[in-house]
Structure 1
């Protein structure tokens, strides 16, 4: 599976500096270990995907849906943070307290946008992101820049 290769590449990659607003394509999907949500504040929109085991069918389905549309997520400044080991008790897991499979979408300001116990298509995620005031401002700014 291609998403597994992306995940393995992310594990091997060095951590992103908190001030680095750009991630390499293989760093769109990163492990939760050693991360905090604060390092993405005002830089990225964290999409945190939790499961109690990487073999959870809902987790596998969610990661396949994400892998199919990584470009749409990258365009919306999304970083996918994965955590499939509850025993590791990552800081992000401790903060968000998921139960089994669950994903959380956070805004750039750290506010929760979505919390769902079932997989969602990237199209649905994109629509939720596109309704956010900051995202609408980003689109307007990009449009104004292109007109100049």
Structure 2
């Protein structure tokens, strides 16, 4: 499985960039839900007040920490999508994407950005989707969203 995952992830990313738009859910009840996108295809401003970007950086798509992080995300993707998370990947430092220029990673790193466009978390080690979901659930805007859902 660990050998297949980088190839599968690469295929998903290739498909999302060849169409010129982010990969999207096909479920009619989830209108235009962005799932995964590469950093060269977007800017962080595209998601302000719409989504919570989770940006995953590495110097190579074969970095073991990157693979572990992406496996954790893919294993529980639904829980992140329920929290309006969009996954942005950047594994090419030479491309110098606008996202990489703004967040300035060193090797592997992931950054969670709130809907307000501010950096909420920045970590140099992989977290599983459960930990990410709990961190999002503690964010003030997410707490407000949950209150509104209960009403």
Same fold (TM over 0.5): yes
Contact conserved, 1:59 with 1:101, CA < 8 A, in 2? yes
After TM superposition, list the pairs within 5 Å mapping 1:56-71 onto structure 2. Answer: 56-71=63-78
Q: Which structure 1 segments of 5+ residues have no match?
A: none
The count of residues paired between Structure 1 and Structure 2 equals: 138
Deviations 1:93-127 (A, max 9, x none): 00000000000000000111110001001111111
RMSD: 1.7
Give the TM-score normalised by structure 1: 0.86
How far residue 22 of structure 1 moved from its aligned partner, in angstroms, is 4.8
Residue number in structure 1 paired with 2:52: 45
**2:126 pairs with 1:109:** no
Are 1:12 and 2:18 an aligned pair?
yes
SS at match of 2:14: helix
| Partner Cα separation in structure 2 for residue 133 and residue 81 of structure 1 | 22
TM-score normalised by L of structure 2: 0.85
Given that residues 3 and 64 in structure 1 are in contact (C-alpha distance below 8 angstroms), is that contact kept between their aligned partners in structure 2?
no
Structure 2 unaligned segments of length 5 or more: list them.
23-29
